[in-house]
Chain A
Amino acid sequence: MSRAALLVLADGRFPAGGHAHSGGAEAAVKAGRITSAASLEDFCRGRLHTAGLVAGALAAAAVLGVEPRELDAAADARTPSPALRAAARRLGRQLMRAARASWPSAELDALAGEFPKGVHQPVVLGVAARAAGLSPVDAAYCAAYESVSGPATATVRLLSLDPFDATGALARLAPELDRVADAAVEAAGRVVDEGVDALPAASGPLLEVGAEWHAAWPVRLFAS
């Protein structure tokens, strides 16, 4: 298998529906909490160390072969907002379609058959990475990067922010992304021995509350 599969999976143009989601940025922009490249960077930093870390560990654990059903239940317990649980499953379904077309595998087929309503996206990401022959750390990087790249591109559209500034913010987060991916892989290794309670449970209260507020708007640019 090829390491370059990671580039395909992590590409923003991979047809898995991520472009329709802002990762909470739309709510934070409307609430006046993201107003500039600096506050975008701070938003992304917070999301990386909370939702990004959890997503990275879920994805890495799935690559290691931890039972997806258990990971999906653990993701539910770590996602109090029903709007975010629904978004994660919708994204999981879309990623499943793209992944099955890209890396046909019996495991992906079985997972799709067992959960017709979808599985949390990071779990599908891990099983897809496994099907593509990628490693736990690859999947963790992919999930952690998605946790910040989505809000960054969404904010460019929402605030007409300079794309160079948004990309600069992502580049400055790179060293922290390395640390989060390492922590996610380390936690995933413990899950194999200790069960899913060893997954990180880092949370951002305003991400959860903001997602509920956002879901109730009659008109939105992004789905979440």
Chain B
Amino acid sequence: MTVTGVRAHARIVARADGRGGTALPVLDGDGPLALRRTRASGGEARVMVVGAMSGPLGGDRFSLEARVEEGARLHVGSAAATIALPGQAKGGARYDVRLDVADDAELHWLPEQLIAAGGSDLYVTTRAELGAGARLVLREEQVLGRFGEEPGRLTSRLTVRVAGRTVLDQELSCGPGAPGGWDGPAVLAGHRSVGQLVVIRPEFAEQPPAARMLGECAALVPLAGPAVLVSAVSPDALSLRRLLDQALTLLG
């Protein structure tokens, strides 16, 4: 018997409803990527990803697409951390996230942590395309291994484009089999949690926030474009979340 992984695809479209709120004409997802609409807040629609299965496991292919149309506001969170696990199918798992935010639209993409459990092998890509006047808050947190466990293999690429121009393109590869030095002093230096927070606001083009340190292993930096990145490594998920929350508060 050939074991093949799970294919899962979820899609969200957020559209201005003409009354100051946001409608969700498309909210499709099932299995590991089930979606639930939760209580709206102001003009913002809220969606929760509630995985009804574990994974991604080796061989799985997940993809998640969200499109926020002009004038709409969407907030996406997840009910729990995503745990990459080893699977019976051959090969690694793949998880692709595509975010499209139109001019004058806003997306808050704030999922819980991605945990690379021992023996897992996952390649995750997140690609956000924004219109010139779009706003974005995007958080990504990776935890290498469950408590006290050796990490799995995790490669994560994050690409953010504003008005057709790439403002951020970063890939981090870690765990067994990753290119050498990933746990050394240039990359993670033994830290087991790593996170990025990207904030894009049109006003940053004229008035970018100044670079600043947030403790010894985190920095808030203006990118070449209307964008700010907070990059942090931390001993654990809790302290990482505190750093990223602190950064978001600083940005106001």
Mark A residues whose CB is within 8 Å of B: 24, 28, 31, 33-34, 39, 42-51, 53, 73-74, 76-78, 80-83, 85, 176, 196-197, 199-209, 212-213, 215-216
Closest to A80 in B: B229
18 intermolecular pairs with C-beta atoms under 8 Å apart: A28-B186, A33-B189, A42-B186, A46-B181, A46-B185, A49-B181, A50-B186, A77-B223, A80-B231, A81-B219, A81-B221, A205-B188, A206-B185, A206-B217, A209-B217, A212-B211, A212-B213, A212-B221
Q: Are A43 and B219 in contact (CB under 8 A)?
A: no
The distance in angstroms between the C-alpha atoms of A48 and B181, with both chains bound, is 8
CB distance from A215 to the nearest CB of B (A): 8
Q: Are A202 and B184 in contact (CB under 8 A)?
A: no
Contact partner of A33 (CB less than 8 A), chosen from B172, B185, B213, B222, is B185
Q: Are B216 and A83 in contact (CB under 8 A)?
A: no
Given contacts A39-B185, A76-B224, A207-B187, whether A49 and B179 have CB atoms under 8 Å apart is yes
Contact partner of A212 (CB less than 8 A), chosen from B167, B188, B219, is B219
The distance in angstroms between the C-alpha atoms of A146 and B224, with both chains bound, is 25
Given contacts A83-B211, A205-B194, A205-B231, whether A43 and B186 have CB atoms under 8 Å apart is yes
Closest to A33 in B: B185
Given contacts A33-B189, A43-B184, whether A213 and B224 have CB atoms under 8 Å apart is no
Chain A hits for B217, CB < 8 A: 206, 209
- 8 Å CB interface, B126-161 against A: 157, 159
Chain A hits for B173, CB < 8 A: 202
Name B's interface SS.
strand
Chain B hits for A33, CB < 8 A: 185, 189
14 more contacts with CB within 8 A, not counting A42-B186, A202-B172, A212-B213, are A33-B185, A39-B185, A43-B186, A46-B186, A46-B187, A49-B181, A76-B223, A77-B223, A80-B221, A202-B173, A204-B186, A205-B194, A212-B211, A212-B221
Chain B hits for A45, CB < 8 A: 180-181, 184, 186
Q: Are A203 and B224 in contact (CB under 8 A)?
A: no
Q: Are B219 and A203 in contact (CB under 8 A)?
A: no
Mark B residues whose CB is within 8 Å of A: 157, 159, 165-173, 179-182, 184-189, 194, 211-213, 216-219, 221-224, 229, 231-233
- Residue with the greatest number of chain B CB neighbours at <10 A, chosen from A47, A83, A209, A216: A209
Contact partner of A204 (CB less than 8 A), chosen from B187, B222, B223, is B187
The distance in angstroms between the C-alpha atoms of A73 and B171, with both chains bound, is 17
The distance in angstroms between the C-alpha atoms of A89 and B157, with both chains bound, is 25
Given contacts A31-B216, A43-B181, A197-B166, whether A206 and B188 have CB atoms under 8 Å apart is yes
Given contacts A80-B221, A208-B231, whether A213 and B185 have CB atoms under 8 Å apart is no
Closest to A31 in B: B216
Chain B hits for A39, CB < 8 A: 184-185
Q: Are B187 and A206 in contact (CB under 8 A)?
A: yes
Chain A hits for B189, CB < 8 A: 33, 206
- Sorted nearest first, the 10 A-B pairs with minimum C-beta distance are A46-B181, A46-B186, A45-B181, A42-B184, A33-B185, A49-B179, A76-B224, A212-B219, A204-B187, A43-B185
